[in-house]
Amino acid sequence: MATADLIQGTELKGDAAHLDVATATRLGRAFGTVLRRRGGGGAKVVVLARGGDGEELPVRDGLARGLVLTGHEVHDLGVASEAQLAVAVDRLEAAGAAQVPPVSEGVRRVRFLLGRRPLGDEVLAELAALADGDDFSAGTGSLVLVDPRQPSRSAGARG
């Protein structure tokens, strides 16, 4: 299945067979590449958040891995609301964000943001094309665990 087939509105949606950790890693690398290309090539701060009971962890883990592989500083809020994600994006002056909502009826979802704005059709199409190819940016990034109630302070180790 092509990544473009997962696009529904402003989200990517798929079941566990189509939106697994490997696909999420490619999506993270593609999103990281988009951020580098649109932001002058340098590393950026990217915020991740998830909701739910843990079923969304493979997607979150893959996204984080892909973003780190493209050289970004990833701030993982863990379980956080949309409002907490927006506050973290503002406080951290993040170039982008990804939210992995709770799994519902076996459907996994990812919503990508440039700043606080959802990706539009053109950028989603670019992301999908990158995810299906191998033209990713590369770099050495980091992962920071952040308390969503205090997004300006790290609550864990960099990795």
* End-to-end CA gap in the chain: 32
User: Would you write out the chain's pLDDT as a tens digit for each of its 159 residues?
Assistant: 899 999 998 999 999 999 999 999 999 999 999 999 988 888 899 999 999 888 999 999 999 999 999 999 999 999 999 999 999 999 999 999 999 999 999 999 999 999 999 999 999 999 999 999 999 999 999 999 988 776 454 444 444
Domain spans in the chain, listed from the N-terminal domain onward: 3-145
- For the domain spanning 3-145, the CATH number is 3.40.120.10
Closest to 111 measured CA to CA, from 48, 62, 61, 18: 48
- Bridge partners, 146 (sequence order): 154
Phi, psi of 43 (to 5 degrees): -70, 150
Distance, in Å, from the CA atom of 51 to the CA atom of 100, rounded to the nearest integer, reads 6
To the question of pTM greater than 0.75 for the whole model, the response is: yes
Neighbours of 135 (CB within 10 A): 9
